[in-house]
């Protein structure tokens, strides 16, 4: 990998600001106008992606809520939504291999598994414990190998395998430390040392964290939107910084290039409207907008739109995505966290819901065959969108 810490940025010139929603410049930059309303379309996920279903084996020892944290060529790592510390190792076909739990207060234990990264090349998994600001490394049998601290008082998120020796992640700080700039990092898998800081240029800091007053007690209320800072893209990475109008791609040779530009500028909007990509293919760019407003009475906020840009047609649409294996409309969220360069997203389908849909005659194809063999108390079925 490139060892230098100096990254040169291509400056975006003033001529770009005149481009409208869903346009592409001569040099390939995509411009998305987040202030516009776009034509609405209903899409079927099978028309754009290959869909695979993995039935997670259900036994007395393998009962899980089905929150998938990592998928490799051989293994799937699953945990529960509650902080019980269980990590389930399934093979790629859904057969239960083993259950690991190293939760505790000791030096070789995690208090909370914020993220789990699977490294099949080294037969390791990395457990991010953000409350403790450290990463613990285990083999796939759950044996402790090593641990290392985060760079400082920061947190890591959207962590992924970068290469055999490094992870890529986004470094950010708590709302009380907003004076410390976030950035993307490439860190060593051995000791957590920073191999490279990737700093996205921006004029002034903008946070996607909303801070206001609650109604009941008048105390400060903090809310934030989900925001993907790192997205796999054709062997490269799309890097997002909320304070920047531009989304960049970063390639293994160290090149950082402008990719998608949002208009109007985030510095001219109040409240701000953020744009972040979800799934990026060779032709279609699935994205989402989030408006930085929050309704304290309803405890809801950050309304937005799901957008897809068709590169071939230079057209953009406000879309709703559905699973074609349901005869009724079963919504598929394309805003889930991207998995890796092969699998765009995964979604857990609850067994009892599939059983109900089967009994109503609302399923088709492979999913119908799976549901016919399910019990309502079984583990979820994992849908992989590839």
pLDDT in tens, 45-79: 999 999 999 999 999 989 999 999 999 999 999 99
Judged against a pLDDT cut of 80, whether residue 17 lies above it is answered with no
Q: Find, among 344, 220, 366, 324, the residue nearest to 279 by Cα.
A: 344
Higher-pLDDT residue of 218, 77: 77
Using DSSP, state whether 220 is helix, strand or coil.
strand
Predicted pLDDT at 197? 97
Any domain includes 4: no
Q: In this prediction, what percent of the chain has a pLDDT beyond 70? A: 92
Does the pLDDT value for residue 133 go beyond 70?
yes
Which pLDDT band holds residue 8 (cuts at 50, 70, 90)? Answer: very low
Percent of the chain with pLDDT over 90: 79
- pLDDT 10s digits, 156-185: 999 999 999 999 999 999 877 878 899 999
CA distance 361 to 256: 50
Q: How many domains does the chain have?
A: 1
113 Cβ neighbours under 8 A, 6+ residues apart: 69, 79, 83, 85, 87, 103, 127, 128, 129
Residues spanned by the domain of 253: 30-385
In-domain check, residue 42:
yes
**Model-level pTM greater than 0.95?**
no
Which pLDDT belongs to residue 111? 96
| CATH code where residue 202 lies | 2.120.10
Would 22 be classed as within a structural domain? no
Write out pLDDT tens, residues 346-377.
999 999 999 999 999 999 999 999 999 999 99
Instruction: Please report whether residue 16 resides in a domain.
Output: no
- Indicate whether 360 belongs to any domain: yes
């Amino acid at each position: 990998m490139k060892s230098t810490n100096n990254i040169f940025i291509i400056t975006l010139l003033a001529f770009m600001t005149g481009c409208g929603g869903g346009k592409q410049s001569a040099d390939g930059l995509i411009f998305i106008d987040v202030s516009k309303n776009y034509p609405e379309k209903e899409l079927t996920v099978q028309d754009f992606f290959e869909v695979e279903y993995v039935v997670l084996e259900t036994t007395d020892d393998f009962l899980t809520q089905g929150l998938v944290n990592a998928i490799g060529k051989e293994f799937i790592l699953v945990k529960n939504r509650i902080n019980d510390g269980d990590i389930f190792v399934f093979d790629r076909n859904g057969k239960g291999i083993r259950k690991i739990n190293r939760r505790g207060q000791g030096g070789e234990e995690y208090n909370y598994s914020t993220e789990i990264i699977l490294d099949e090349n080294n037969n390791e998994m990395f457990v991010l414990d953000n409350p403790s600001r450290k990463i613990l490394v285990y083999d796939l049998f759950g044996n402790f190998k090593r641990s290392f601290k985060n760079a400082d008082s920061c947190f890591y998120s959207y962590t992924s395998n970068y290469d055999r020796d490094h992870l890529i992640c986004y470094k950010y700080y708590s709302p009380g430390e907003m004076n410390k700039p976030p950035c993307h990092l490439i860190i060593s898998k051995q000791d957590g040392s920073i191999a490279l800081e990737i700093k996205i240029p921006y004029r002034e800091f903008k946070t996607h964290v909303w801070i206001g007053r609650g109604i009941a007690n008048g105390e400060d209320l903090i809310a934030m939107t989900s925001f993907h800072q790192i997205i796999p893209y054709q062997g490269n990475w799309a890097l997002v910084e909320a304070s920047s109008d531009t989304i960049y791609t970063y390639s293994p040779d160290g090149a950082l290039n402008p990719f998608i530009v949002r208009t109007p500028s985030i510095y001219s909007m109040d409240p701000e409207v953020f744009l972040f990509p979800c799934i990026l293919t060779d032709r279609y760019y699935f994205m989402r907008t989030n408006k930085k407003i929050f309704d304290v009475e309803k405890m809801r906020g950050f309304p937005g739109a799901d957008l897809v840009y068709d590169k071939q047609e230079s057209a953009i649409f406000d879309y709703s995505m559905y699973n074609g294996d349901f005869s009724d409309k079963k919504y598929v969220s394309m805003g889930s966290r991207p998995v890796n360069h092969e699998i765009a997203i995964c979604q857990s389908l609850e067994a009892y819901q599939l059983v109900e849909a089967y009994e109503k005659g609302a399923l088709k194809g492979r999913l119908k065959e799976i549901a016919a063999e399910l019990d309502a108390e079984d583990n979820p079925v994992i849908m992989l969108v590839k």
